Amino acid sequence: MRSSITNYLTIDVEDYFHVSAFEKISPPSTWAGRECRVERNTDLILNILDEYKVKATFFILGWVAERYPQLTKKIASQGHEIACHGYLHQRLSLQDRGTYREDICKAKGILEDQIGAPVLGYRAPSYSITRETSWAFDELIEAGFKYDSSIFPMKHDFYGIPDWPRFSGYAVKTEQGWQSSDSVLPDQPSIYELPITTLKLGHKNLPIAGGGYFRLLPYAVTQWGLKRINQQEQQPFVFYLHPWEFDPQQPRMAGASAKSRFRHYLNLSRTEKRFRRLLSDFKFGSIRDGLQF
């Protein structure tokens, strides 16, 4: 039985050579010489969403928006939310605060110029806001973002804050550092946080809501876990995918490790079919519409 809860559908608009798994063999200096496939793959997603009459939030990489301004405008013209994924797809642990500030402001400015409207949401490359990089919240607030969707409340080699609450609330600055809260005190620095959804089994938070996990797990497992979140916990989930995950014919990256190749290329040919099932089984909308920013 389909839940009446509207979940958040998010698309991280980046190309196959931007991913962190390939950062050592695909630095930004090489990107201009690679075959870009992000526009055609995003068009496929837009066509599917139009078919199912679903709106989503598109976290667009500034590097992509700068080269394909017509893509940003097309996404916005079809009623989807434009949000920011930074300019270069660099994990926060590899940046200092000054570089990070320049990166997010540059990307936000490009996107806002293209759509003629404020960009309110942000997602860090590879969900890389962690306890060690929580200074990013200060920079996001200063840049004018109203919400963030970067925290993955689980342990991973690239990301994760395992003890962060699983569902949305405010990230607030306290004397002990940045913490989650249901409310904000007057003049307290804060930003609304929508963590990537995990499934709690026992004492562990397990990934269930997108990306490589969507391609790795049998669809029945994904469906069961997401229905459990909607029906038993009565919470919306945040689901994410990337345009390159719809592209089994994408170029293979020479020199990548076996683990990176497994993560990136596994079951790419199954993404579109599973995505269509997902849109049939669950109700979705954009973050902007759900939170009414």
Contacts of 208-211 with CB under 8 Å at 24 or more apart are 208/237, 209/237, 209/238, 209/239, 209/240, 210/10, 210/239, 210/240, 210/241, 211/240, 211/241, 211/242, 211/245
Question: What is the tens place of the pLDDT at every residue in 2-35?
Answer: 778 999 999 999 999 999 999 999 999 999 999 9
User: What are the boundaries of each domain within the chain?
Assistant: 6-291
CATH number of 6-291: 3.20.20.370
Question: What is the tens place of the pLDDT at every residue in 96-118?
Answer: 999 999 999 999 999 999 999 99
Q: Taking 70 as the threshold, does the pLDDT of residue 1 lie above it? A: no
